[in-house]
Chains A and B, each alone.
Chain A
């Protein structure tokens, strides 16, 4: 709960409905109470001057690895949610590939307890199968009753088609989302980078696009007979987009996401043999990237999800074959995405594109995990979760950072993050 009611004045407002001008008032209970021009200010209200800034619903990340418990040297729930807040996120979905995995109710309670110290909302994803081994289903009903929003074995795809079919069947009844890390192990095993001219020239074992596409096609075939909510995680190939387009055109209902790095970085970077570019699915070719961008702008790809996957420095200094996969981008995702779509030059912004990109960070991912569909997140009665950012200021990424983005800078700096009416980021700095 916030001490004083808030009024955010003078900014541009952007959400799935468009770009405009409005002030926003938030109650001490953390709900939006007014959303209109020229809100009158009473003396007890705290005013945030947003002139020249953009106000959007707080970003929702469907794919966040917070690493706790099990690898808290790499990240904790507190450190990860702080990075998220600095990036304008007010909700993250914590992936279950912790150690031990989130695959039972006691683990959900444990994450909830740890998340009490988080500065933003932490939603929980459970594994689909026990220990993410792809064999026995978790107790989905009990987990759903505890408010788990998603089921995924992320890090692993569910290899066994019969198990996946049963998971979809079970989840259909419960109305929960089953999300898939698309990877066919019999094809991908041993691979380290996108199979293509670059990996073959360098002699790096390749991961074919078919590893992803075969599992996607299989899941959609299973989904036809199951009334379940299905979500394809981090799609990366033009072939996946093609499959999704065909299935959606034929009326199959499901959703999918793409990561900032699969929109922004291509596989020529692995030429440096630096494990900071090692990620799963791998960075793909320029044709794939262009298709991911098209799919996102056309709305075929529903959401942008970071797949924030932090590792320690020591882990990323191993050989390319031994180093773990993962790129982290929670705090800079907005800037990367705006740059990707040419939305980082204020005078030349294509409003339609801007709206779609913000929708992919906010309303669409929110609706993927919501029980009830919300048409507007910036309306009276909605949660006071906001990201307020500047297109005049750059977010600089430290050169020393173990990241493909080290040394770069991006327009689209988050100035305020407001979560449940609480100002958690102020002037670009965490309030903690």
Chain B
């Protein structure tokens, strides 16, 4: 039983083994033998996200896992039951893994201190979203390997090593758990990560990665460009003067996309604010993996569940 709270829980070879397992699932069209049948997972989404929750639940069903769904609004937590009591209840049901999403950074980590069950982070505050980062790697590698129809110009000798590649994450880095996880994951595989956004939305004290405020000065160097979803309330919060100013300086507009290398790729963690961080037509650009990215969600999460639950079975 293993936790997956943040990308830092994984070393490079563990990242690659999860990613390669996901690739096997894609190749086999999600058909699995020797499954995890008999185990049960519960999705505890204190912050609602139908898309991510269903992706995990589908992944679990493909592995013949039992699935329980916890919803904060209908549970006794609204009657004052504490987080810890809720976890204890699921422990008593005999579930094997908790898939947790919460608006507050750190809750999956806290829960992991209270229980021996596997805890899988499905996104917590601005902290971490490891499954998203791993599926981005799966999508990126598929493109590198020329496995995606119509996207083939990017060829590399070694899809296990990203050294020499520049990954640009663009937009509201400060509030983004996706940015934190993607930056970590790609750099663990050797990539050079550059965080780009308005100065008010860059975590300037965090000195692990290069930070750039002028997107146009660096965009032509990127091998992968990832615009982040911009929460529309950032404008009213004074972080940016206006959404149109943000689009003008940091949006992947049709004009700006012209500056991106022909061999580069565009990933968006979704859901998109079309016309803000990405123009409507850009997802149709031949370099954009946006549609493919959605399809790798389930196989990647299958591989994560196997990674976290597998040892149970080996011990039997």
Contact = CB atoms under 8 A, between A and B. Distances in A.
Contact of B109 (A197, A199, A273): A273
B110 A319 contact: yes
A246 interface: no
Given A201-B180, A203-B128, A203-B180, A273 B82 contact: no
A203 B82 contact: no
Contacts of B180: 201, 203
Interface in A190-207: 195-197, 199-206
Nearest to B80: A314
Given A200-B205, A203-B128, A318 B106 contact: no
A321 interface: yes
Contacts of B110: 273-274, 319-320
Given A203-B125, A203-B126, A319 B104 contact: yes
A296 B273 CA distance: 52
Contacts of A206: 205
A234 to B, nearest CB: 22
Contacts of A197: 205-207
A190 B281 CA distance: 37
A272 interface: yes
B182 interface: no
Interface string A14-44: 0000000000000000000000000000000
B198 to A, nearest CB: 15
A242 interface: no
Contacts of A204: 105-106, 125-127
B314 to A, nearest CB: 29
Interface residues of B, number: 27
A200 B203 contact: yes
B268 interface: no
Interface in A162-206: 195-197, 199-206
Contacts of A203: 105, 125-128, 175-177, 180
Contact of B83 (A195, A199, A319): A319
Contact of B104 (A195, A199, A200, A320): A320
A196 B83 CA distance: 28
B104 A201 contact: no
Contacts of A274: 110, 113
A204 B204 CA distance: 14
Contacts of A199: 205
> What DSSP secondary structure best describes chain B's contact surface?
loop
B102 interface: yes
Interface string A315-338: 001111110000000000000000
Contacts of A322: 104
A319 B206 contact: no
Looking at A195, A204, A319, A321, the one whose CB has the most chain B CB atoms below 10 A away is A319
Contacts of B103: 321
A135 B102 CA distance: 36
A317 B83 contact: yes
A319 B128 contact: no
A200 B105 contact: no
Contact of A321 (B104, B175, B176): B104
Nearest to A321: B104
Contacts of B102: 319
A314 B84 CA distance: 9
Interface string A297-329: 000000000000000001001111110000000
B208 interface: yes
Contacts of B82: 314, 317-318
A272 B113 CA distance: 9
B156 to A, nearest CB: 29
Looking at A203, A319, A320, the one whose CB has the most chain B CB atoms below 10 A away is A203
Looking at B107, B175, B205, the one whose CB has the most chain A CB atoms below 10 A away is B205
A93 B102 CA distance: 39
A311 B31 CA distance: 51
7 A-B pairs with the lowest CB-CB distances in the bound complex, closest first: A273-B106, A203-B126, A200-B203, A321-B104, A200-B206, A203-B127, A319-B104
Interface of B: 82-84, 102-107, 109-110, 113, 125-128, 174-177, 180, 203-208
26 contacts: A197-B205, A200-B203, A200-B204, A201-B203, A201-B208, A203-B175, A203-B177, A203-B180, A204-B125, A204-B126, A206-B205, A272-B109, A273-B110, A274-B113, A317-B82, A317-B83, A317-B84, A318-B83, A319-B110, A320-B105, A320-B107, A320-B110, A321-B103, A321-B104, A321-B125, A322-B104
